[in-house]
């Protein structure tokens, strides 16, 4: 199947190259919507328009749903209001809410007005929740059972309602006030005796989240407890919706990408195939900021011009102190940020974690500093040069531990994203402090170095 999809994909692309749009559309229909969406997303606007106008609504909706938000927004502008509202009616309400929240208010209202009332209201309700919360990623389309139904009645109900495959595998049980009281798997319903009450078969200790729980926390809970579906409740414990595992897979990838980009000093996600001009616009402000921090470090060096002019070899050794500190700081930042993301940090342990990282930094700084000092001594025949290098590296790598662990932990305490303190902030610390420690020490011991 996978190979077949790949073949069809190549064939469709070839047909498009020859401008045989009709045949290509035929092939798209044989592709998995995710594959079709990928190819179509890259096509010129008029091709995209023609394809969506040719297709029946369910197929158009399936494919549209697989596109990323930017592509969806582009297509919304291409299609007529009746067509796009028909397509949105076929989609899952949480995806509709995300899209409508992303496009302008005016467009959203125009489309909502053309949609079926019930679908529109459902989307509107979901749009009230933050996009990155449990409420924002849950689907409100689920079947809940009442606890006084029998297993057979439950199965009959499911058969009649035929809910989407996404949410049927765990069925949640509510009381008369729609409050969540239990969960049962479809498996246990089928295996259970038809006449028994759901209440007797269900598991009453169901794991749930509040509607405003952050999506990262939702992902952590589902991953930790190996859940396929997680119910979302309001303040009165009423069941509002269900987060399903496929949405969480996307969240996990999204959050991991975000951390990776931030740590690497890339502020906004950037695709490998996005145009160069976008990458430049994306990165330039941050690089200009970096330039500012680089001048700060250069300013520190320029304070010691006199020492350098008297012992020129200091200029060669000073990047070692700064660079090793930068590497240590990046390592520490990585371990700390990832550790926080994976839930390894307990609140009260912050100070201990920082202290440990400072200790690790000083130890590794002392060991590599000793090595570097020895090399410097042997190369230049001056033990004091080695001593200065050793001391500066030990201190600076302690600073690296402090900055690398401290910055994300403090950000976390301030309820900010720990990855915001990306590598550049940490290496600014280690650069400035490294130059200061090395050149400062060298200046105080200058008479031994000449």
CB of 185 to a second copy, least distance (A): 5
Beta-strand pair 180-185/170-174: antiparallel
Contact between 270 and a second copy by CB under 8 A: the answer reads: yes
User: Out of 22, 80, 299, 351, which residue is the one contacting a second copy (CB under 8 A)?
Assistant: 299
In three-state secondary structure terms, 162 is coil
Site for a second copy in 117-156 (CB under 8 A): 155
CB nearer to a second copy: give 266 or 411.
Answer: 266
Compute the distance between CA of residue 325 and CA of residue 369 in angstroms, rounded to an integer: 11
Sign, CA torsion 336/341/342/343: positive
Site for a second copy in 404-433 (CB under 8 A): 423-424, 427, 431
User: Out of 76, 324, 387, 436, which residue is the one contacting a second copy (CB under 8 A)?
Assistant: 324
Mention every residue, 6+ apart, whose C-beta is less than 8 A from residue 274: none
Contact between 378 and a second copy by CB under 8 A: the answer reads: no
Contact between 312 and a second copy by CB under 8 A: the answer reads: yes
φ, ψ dihedrals at 361, nearest 5°: -60, -45
Contact between 57 and a second copy by CB under 8 A: the answer reads: no
Site for a second copy in 192-231 (CB under 8 A): 205-209, 221-226, 228
Compute the distance between CA of residue 354 and CA of residue 110 in angstroms, rounded to an integer: 53
Compute the distance between CA of residue 56 and CA of residue 31 in angstroms, rounded to an integer: 15
DSSP annotation of 239 reads: E
CB of 107 to a second copy, least distance (A): 27
- C-alpha distances out from residue 300 to 82, 218, 403, Å: 64, 46, 19
Helices (H), 103-214: 105-114, 117-127, 134-137, 151-161, 186-191, 198-201
In three-state secondary structure terms, 212 is coil
CB-CB contact of 408 with 331 (8 Å):
no
CB nearer to a second copy: give 305 or 444.
Answer: 305
CB of 78 to a second copy, least distance (A): 24
Compute the distance between CA of residue 116 and CA of residue 119 in angstroms, rounded to an integer: 5
CB nearer to a second copy: give 113 or 280.
Answer: 280
CB nearer to a second copy: give 22 or 204.
Answer: 204
Q: Which stretch binds a second copy (CB under 8 A): 69-77, 115-123, 126-134, 273-281?
A: 273-281
Site for a second copy in 240-259 (CB under 8 A): 245-246, 248-250, 252-253, 256-257, 259
Contact between 295 and a second copy by CB under 8 A: the answer reads: yes
């Amino acid at each position: 199947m996978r190979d077949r999809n790949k073949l069809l994909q190549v064939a469709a692309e070839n047909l498009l190259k020859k401008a045989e749009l009709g045949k290509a559309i035929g092939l798209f229909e044989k592709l998995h919507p995710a594959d079709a969406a990928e190819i179509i997303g890259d096509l010129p606007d008029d091709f995209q328009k023609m394809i969506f106008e040719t297709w029946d609504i369910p197929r158009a909706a399936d494919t549209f749903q697989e596109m990323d938000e930017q592509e969806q927004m582009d297509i919304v502008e291409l299609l007529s209001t009746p067509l796009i509202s028909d397509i949105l009616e076929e989609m899952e309400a949480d995806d509709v809410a995300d899209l409508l929240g992303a496009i302008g208010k005016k467009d959203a209202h125009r489309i909502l007005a053309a949609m079926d009332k019930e679908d529109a209201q459902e989307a509107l309700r979901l749009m009230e929740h933050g996009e990155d919360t449990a409420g924002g990623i849950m689907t409100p389309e689920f079947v809940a059972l009442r606890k006084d139904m029998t297993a057979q009645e439950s199965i009959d109900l499911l058969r009649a309602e035929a809910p989407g495959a996404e949410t049927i595998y765990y069925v949640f049980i509510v009381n008369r006030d729609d409050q969540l009281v239990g969960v049962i798997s479809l498996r246990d319903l089928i295996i259970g005796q038809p006449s028994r009450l759901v209440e007797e078969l269900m598991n009453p200790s169901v794991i749930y989240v509040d509607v405003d729980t952050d999506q990262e926390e939702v992902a952590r809970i589902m991953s930790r407890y190996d859940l396929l579906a997680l119910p979302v409740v309001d303040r009165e414990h009423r069941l509002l919706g269900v987060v399903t595992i496929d949405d969480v897979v996307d969240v996990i990838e999204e959050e991991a990408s975000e951390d990776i980009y931030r740590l690497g000093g890339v502020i906004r996600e950037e695709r490998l195939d996005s145009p160069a001009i976008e990458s430049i616009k994306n990165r330039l402000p941050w690089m200009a900021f970096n330039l500012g921090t680089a001048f700060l470090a250069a300013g520190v060096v320029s304070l010691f011009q006199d020492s350098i002019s008297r012992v020129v070899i200091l200029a060669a050794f000073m990047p070692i102190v700064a660079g090793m500190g930068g590497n240590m700081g990046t390592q520490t930042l990585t371990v700390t940020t990832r550790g926080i993301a994976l839930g390894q940090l307990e609140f009260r342990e912050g100070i201990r974690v920082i202290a440990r990282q400072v200790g690790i930094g000083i130890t590794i700084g002392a060991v590599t500093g000793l090595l570097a000092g020895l090399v410097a001594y042997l190369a230049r025949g001056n033990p004091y040069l080695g001593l200065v290098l050793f001391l500066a590296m030990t201190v600076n790598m302690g600073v690296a531990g402090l900055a690398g662990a401290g910055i994300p932990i403090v950000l976390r305490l301030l309820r900010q994203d720990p990855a915001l303190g990306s590598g550049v902030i940490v290496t600014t610390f280690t650069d400035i402090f490294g130059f200061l420690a090395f050149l400062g020490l060298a200046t105080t011991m200058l008479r031994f170095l000449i």
